[in-house]
């Protein structure tokens, strides 16, 4: 079953719309290199579109009706948008859910030290990375420092044109015989991913004078003391902006396509809805997927269920736990996460006819998991049948995929967690080359088709 390259189906109107989507996405990605920054931008766009904080509605005892739009900000690191529809919640809602965390290098809580006239920050990598990708490259620092007096200082260093950048050194090739003989996974150790921050001693200091210079910069520019790092979340990410990739400008090269490309497509889809959709729609952007969806802002937390309970309370005459359970079980969901794009240079890792091809449109993974579908959500055939009709009726270019050959590896998404409620869920996303590398590659056409797909799903998905 061959699928067309989506570019061959476009007219001038499509091409203009595609570039508009790509431009908006570039701004979203460049301004959202951390989950906190993504939430901040998402909330700003939501409020501009007329969304109000659900907490405000709850506090005011405001009853909600079809057409109302509310959002939930979860600790500044996960966010949900709900656009209420005409059907009651117990008929289920249409959800597009992505994650907004990406692999990176985190600064430890007690990070600073000096060694041989260099000041370093000790680090702990986050998510699945090839550690050798992160050395000898320009890094920027993004995050927040929460002080004891309750103030929160935002940090962004390395993105402005005249900003300095930081980074991790690598061993020169002339002395790396032993290093080169190691397996790739062992060539760079996690303990050797420390970031160089400063190299000039502070005048008048005799001990750790370079570190003293670093602390003076932080104090003078940000009002931060060394002890304030105990309550900081600082992430080191690749410095620089997203770029058009390929001489034909058909692709995008940038940090964090996994999974902010699906997050942006989901956000754009819900913001485009008419005033009163048939069913309530939700854009759910979760944190911590890259480390197992754990913690208070990961999908295994109960914030989605709690928000649904609040919606039941504000849309029904009387709250009922049974109504909530029925609403959760009746939902339809696209777990919007990227898929491994087929790479001809590494063809042996894929089974080509069941691989996602860049440029062939948004892809659907009936199941993820590893080897014998371990840890997978396996979508039911009836749901996929209805989904096929929605995609074809709306002229969406789409394809199906698996994550590589059966015994080669695997991966997972938030789908299996949401499926615990009994809702229908399937993975849907954009094919990516160099997934989890500091810079990943996507095709603009696949992003455009994802926006079309998620919009059509929100508007037309219904329980069979």
Q: Give pLDDT tens digits for 369-406.
A: 777 777 778 889 999 999 999 999 999 999 999 888 88
Cis peptide before 458 (omega within 30 of 0): no
CB 67 within 8 A of CB 241: no
- Classified as helix, coil or strand, 457 is helix
Domain at 104-238, CATH from 2.30.250.10, 2.40.128.20, 3.30.450.40, 3.90.960.10: 2.30.250.10
Q: Is the dihedral of CA 394, 275, 429, 8 positive or negative?
A: positive
By DSSP bridging, strand 232-238 and strand 139-146 are antiparallel
Q: Is the dihedral of CA 80, 461, 380, 261 positive or negative?
A: negative
Give tens-digit pLDDT for 147-172.
999 999 999 999 999 999 999 999 99
Mean pLDDT of 242-264: 97
Q: In 3D, which of 330, 427, 447, 442 has the Cα closest to residue 387?
A: 427
pLDDT at 351 over 80: yes
Residues β-bridged to residue 336: 428
Mean pLDDT of the chain: 95
For the record, the structure tokens of 141 come out as 């620092």
**Domain formed by 6-102+255-460, architecture:** 3-Layer(aba) Sandwich (3.40)
Mean pLDDT of 232-257: 98
Q: What is the pLDDT of residue 206?
A: 81
Q: How many whole angstroms separate alpha carbon 341 and alpha carbon 275?
A: 36
For the record, the structure tokens of 179 come out as 């290093």
Q: Which residues of the chain form CATH 2.30.250.10? A: 104-238
Q: How many whole angstroms separate alpha carbon 195 and alpha carbon 7?
A: 42
DSSP per-residue string spanning 264-276 = HHHHHHHHT--SS
Q: What is the pLDDT of residue 395?
A: 97
Q: How far is CA 375 from CA 106, 288, 372, 414, 417, in A?
A: 27, 17, 9, 11, 10
Q: Is the dihedral of CA 424, 430, 431, 435 positive or negative?
A: negative
Q: What is the pLDDT of residue 374?
A: 76
Q: How many whole angstroms separate alpha carbon 194 and alpha carbon 106?
A: 10
∠ CA 423-426-431 to the nearest 5 degrees?
155
**Which of residues 375 and 111 earns the better pLDDT score?**
111
By DSSP bridging, strand 69-74 and strand 52-53 are parallel
Q: What is the pLDDT of residue 2?
A: 78
By DSSP bridging, strand 152-157 and strand 104-115 are unpaired
pLDDT at 410 over 80: no
Q: What is the pLDDT of residue 402?
A: 87
E strands in 128-199: 139-146, 152-157, 195-198
Q: How many whole angstroms separate alpha carbon 264 and alpha carbon 29?
A: 8
Q: How many CA atoms lie within 13 A of 160 on its CB side?
A: 6
pLDDT class of 77 with cuts at 50, 70, 90: very high
Q: Which residues of the chain form CATH 3.40.630.10? A: 6-102+255-460
CB 425 within 8 A of CB 377: yes
pLDDT at 464 over 80: no
Mean pLDDT of 55-79: 96
C-alpha of 428 from chain center: 14
CB 401 within 8 A of CB 426: no
């Amino acid at each position: 079953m061959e699928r067309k390259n989506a570019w061959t189906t476009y007219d001038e109107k499509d091409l203009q719309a595609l570039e508009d989507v790509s431009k908006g996405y570039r701004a979203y990605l460049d301004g959202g290199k951390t989950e906190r920054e993504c939430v901040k931008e998402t909330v700003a766009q939501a409020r501009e579109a007329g969304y109000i904080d659900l907490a405000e509605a709850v506090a005011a005892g405001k009853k909600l009706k079809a057409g109302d739009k509310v959002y939930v900000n979860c600790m500044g690191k996960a966010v949900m948008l709900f656009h209420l529809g005409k059907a009651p919640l117990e008929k289920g809602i249409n959800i597009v859910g992505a994650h907004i965390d990406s692999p990176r290098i985190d600064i430890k809580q007690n990070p600073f030290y000096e060694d041989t006239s260099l000041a370093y920050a000790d680090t702990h990598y986050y998510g699945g990375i090839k550690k050798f990708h992160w050395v000898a490259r320009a890094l920027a620092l993004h995050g927040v420092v929460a002080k004891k007096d309750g103030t929160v200082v935002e940090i962004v260093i390395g993105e402005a044109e005249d900003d300095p950048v930081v980074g991790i050194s690598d061993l020169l090739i002339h002395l790396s015989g032993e290093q080169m003989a190691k397996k790739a996974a062992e060539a760079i150790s996690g303990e050797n991913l420390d970031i160089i921050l400063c190299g000039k001693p502070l005048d008048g200091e005799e001990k750790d004078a370079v570190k003293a210079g670093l602390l003076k910069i932080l104090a003078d520019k940000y009002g931060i003391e060394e002890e304030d790092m105990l309550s900081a979340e600082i992430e080191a990410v690749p410095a620089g902006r997203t770029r058009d990739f390929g001489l034909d400008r058909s692709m995008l090269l940038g940090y964090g396509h996994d999974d902010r490309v699906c997050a942006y497509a989901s956000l754009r889809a819900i913001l485009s809805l008419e005033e009163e959709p048939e069913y309530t729609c939700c854009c759910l952007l979760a944190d911590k997927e890259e480390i197992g969806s754990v913690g208070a802002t990961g999908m295994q937390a109960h914030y989605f269920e709690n928000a649904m309970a609040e919606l039941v309370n504000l849309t029904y005459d009387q709250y009922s736990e049974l109504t909530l359970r029925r609403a959760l079980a009746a939902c339809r969901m696209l777990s919007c996460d990227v898929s491994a794009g087929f790479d001809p240079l590494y063809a042996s890792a894929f089974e080509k006819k069941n691989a996602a091809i860049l440029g062939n449109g948004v892809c659907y993974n009936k199941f993820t998991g590893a080897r014998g579908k371990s840890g997978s959500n396996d979508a039911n055939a009836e749901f996929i049948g209805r989904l096929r009709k929605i995609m074809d009726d709306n002229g969406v270019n789409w394809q199906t995929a698996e994550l590589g050959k059966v015994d080669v590896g695997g991966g997972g998404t938030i789908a299996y967690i949401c499926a615990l409620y009994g809702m229908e869920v399937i993975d849907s996303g954009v094919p990516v080359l160099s997934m989890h590398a500091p810079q990943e590659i996507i095709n603009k056409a696949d992003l455009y088709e994802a926006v079309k797909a998620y919009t059509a799903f929100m508007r037309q998905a219904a329980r069979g």
